[in-house]
């Protein structure tokens, strides 16, 4: 198993991409801390199922990724229970769609806080231990919108571009300590967040949801298919493994050819 005796924090991992990555890490032998919102009974069921199925330790933290103090407390919990934090996946994200002149100030602030600042705060919390052990893996989950733009998503696009820049800076800063930092830039993945975006885009454009999928979301994805969570999870496992040691400060697209359109 590629990640045996490693431990990981995966933010935004109670559903969607984050849960897929957390599952893949557990399957590869890593202890995992789940984080996110949702029905607590369902989250506990997921946590216990992963722990039982893969024989690893699985924790849950409901830390609010918009709160730096809660992010630090989550890192401390993982360190106390696992003994160390080897891998961090910054995946937590929210979305709001609106024309820039109508974009609510509080939505801008919350999107930037959860989609970008949370990654900074978690990286800051775990890097001292990684430096001491001279090994660490940081994987940021951005978006094709970290490299290109779409209308009505000013906060999201700004945050994801910032995530790519953060990953490049951290990657080169920590390279000599055996720590890598890379940013995955997926195209559209069929997750609860994207389901909401379909509805929001339909409203913004005044078109049907199925038209949003065909004419807005996948119009630039040459493959004309949603990216699979399992594909992203496999890439995250590679980046978190010893095989990914020479890959750092990279922005890696898995977007069906979208950003090359």
Q: Catalytic residue numbers? A: 156
What is the token pair recorded at 214?
Answer: 């065909």
Beta-bridge partner residues of 85? none
Is residue 78 within a helix (H) or strand (E), and if so which, with residue range? helix 68-82
* Plot region of 12 (φ>0 → left; ψ -120 to 50 → alpha; else → beta): left
Beta strands of 62-210 (E only): which ranges?
Answer: 87-90, 136-141, 179-186
What is the token pair recorded at 9?
Answer: 């924090």
Among candidates 230, 251, 241, which has minimal Cα distance to 24?
230
Among candidates 108, 216, 212, 89, which has minimal Cα distance to 154?
108
Q: How far from each other are the two terminal CA atoms of the chain, in whole angstroms?
A: 37
What is the token pair recorded at 62?
Answer: 């409901």
Strands 58-61 and 87-90: unpaired
Among candidates 161, 217, 208, 153, which has minimal Cα distance to 188?
217
Cα 36 to the chain's mean position, in Å? 11
Q: How many CB atoms within 10 Å of residue 130?
A: 22
What is the token pair recorded at 198?
Answer: 């379909």
Is residue 35 within a helix (H) or strand (E), and if so which, with residue range? strand 31-35
């Amino acid at each position: 198993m590629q990640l045996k005796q490693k431990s990981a924090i995966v933010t935004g991992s109670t559903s969607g991409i984050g849960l897929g990555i957390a599952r893949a890490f557990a399957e590869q032998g890593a202890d995992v801390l789940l984080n996110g919102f949702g029905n607590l009974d369902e989250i506990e069921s997921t946590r216990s199922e992963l722990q039982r199925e893969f024989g690893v330790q699985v924790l849950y933290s409901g830390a609010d990724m918009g709160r730096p103090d809660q992010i630090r407390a989550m890192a401390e919990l993982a360190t106390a229970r696992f003994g160390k934090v080897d891998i961090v996946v910054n995946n937590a994200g929210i979305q709001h769609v609106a024309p820039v002149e109508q974009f609510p100030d509080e939505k801008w602030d919350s999107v930037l806080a959860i989609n970008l600042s949370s990654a900074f705060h978690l990286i800051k919390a775990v890097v001292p231990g990684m430096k001491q052990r001279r090994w660490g893996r940081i994987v940021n989950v951005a978006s094709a919108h970290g490299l290109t733009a779409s209308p009505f998503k000013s906060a999201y696009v700004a945050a994801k571009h910032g995530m790519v820049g953060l990953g490049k800076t951290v990657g080169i800063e920590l390279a000599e300590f055996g720590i890598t930092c890379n940013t995955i830039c997926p195209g559209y993945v069929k997750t609860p967040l994207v389901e909401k975006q379909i509805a929001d885009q339909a409203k913004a454009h005044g078109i049907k949801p199925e038209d949003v999928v065909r004419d807005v979301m996948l119009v630039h994805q040459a493959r004309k298919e949603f990216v699979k969570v399992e594909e992203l999870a496999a890439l995250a496992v590679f980046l978190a493994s010893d095989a990914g040691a020479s890959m750092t400060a990279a922005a890696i697209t898995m977007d069906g050819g979208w950003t090359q359109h």
